[in-house]
């Protein structure tokens, strides 16, 4: 069966520490399966004020550039989070496939900068959102002008490739789903062995996952 243009994220959790990028890089499509806008990389000792906004790890962080940060996911994910240091209150919103708001989270303080943050706060607060049925977009809003927060060690948790109906469980429902793709009853999008077709080989991969033998999708 012919394939559509769906490009899934790899299963499991991806951690983005931004340390492989040079200072002042504008984030867009540098990470497979993710699309950033309104985001810039800052490096300690160059454009990052690490005394107020220390990195959670390494020397690089991401920051809001001219407004809210938006992250698009090529396939639905289960959760997104990161370690945030901010000078204004933050809101993270997650949106589902239909574009509707499915989850949100806010910062615990109005500011948690290392030197000038409010009493009781500390930098690098973990803030995260999750939605079992799938997140396709996240927005992170601080100041409307940007340059108001940084984040580091962002985590993106994606579905297993063998969870073809993306309900957070690999079972006989997924086996029926992939069978329907092979038979033409559903759009053929789950080429699990990357041979440019959906076939009985992909069915066998799902069978093995259902039997607890692991998902060998490539």
Domains of the chain: 12-158 (2.60.120.200), 172-210 (no CATH)
Q: 53 falls in which pLDDT band (50, 70, 90)?
A: very high
Residue 37 has pLDDT above 70, yes or no: yes
Q: Residue holding tokens 């041979």?
A: 195
pLDDT at residue 5 in the model: 31
Please state the rounded mean pLDDT for residues 109-133.
Answer: 95
pLDDT over 90 percentage in the chain = 77
pLDDT at residue 11 in the model: 54
Under 8 Å CB-to-CB from 176, ≥6 apart: which residues?
A: none
CB atoms within 10 A of CB 101: 12
Under 8 Å CB-to-CB from 91, ≥6 apart: which residues?
A: 104, 105, 106, 107, 140, 141
- Half-sphere exposure (Cβ direction) of 134: Cα atoms closer than 13 Å: 21
Strand partners, 105: 92
pTM, two decimal places:
0.74
Helices (H), 4-134: none
pLDDT over 70 percentage in the chain = 94
């Amino acid at each position: 069966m012919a394939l559509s243009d769906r490009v899934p994220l790899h299963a499991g959790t991806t951690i983005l520490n931004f340390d492989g990028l040079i200072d002042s890089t504008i984030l867009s499509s540098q990470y497979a399966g993710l699309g950033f806008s309104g985001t810039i990389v800052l490096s300690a000792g160059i454009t990052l004020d690490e005394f107020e906004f220390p990195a959670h790890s390494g020397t690089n962080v991401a920051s809001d550039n001219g407004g809210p940060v938006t992250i698009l996911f090529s396939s639905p994910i289960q959760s997104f989070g990161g370690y945030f240091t901010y000078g204004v209150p933050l809101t993270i919103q997650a949106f589902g496939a239909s574009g509707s708001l499915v989850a949100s989270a806010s910062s615990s303080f109005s500011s948690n900068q290392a030197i000038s943050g409010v009493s009781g706060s500390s930098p690098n607060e973990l803030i995260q959102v999750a939605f079992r049925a799938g997140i396709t977009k996240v927005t992170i809003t601080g100041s409307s002008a940007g340059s108001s927060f940084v984040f580091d060690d962002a985590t993106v948790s994606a579905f297993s490739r063998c969870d073809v109906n993306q309900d957070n469980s690999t079972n006989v429902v997924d086996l029926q789903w992939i069978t329907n793709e092979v038979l033409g009853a559903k759009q053929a999008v789950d080429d699990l062995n990357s041979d440019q077709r959906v076939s009985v080989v992909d069915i066998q991969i799902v069978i093995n996952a259902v039997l607890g033998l692991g998902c060998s999708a490539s």
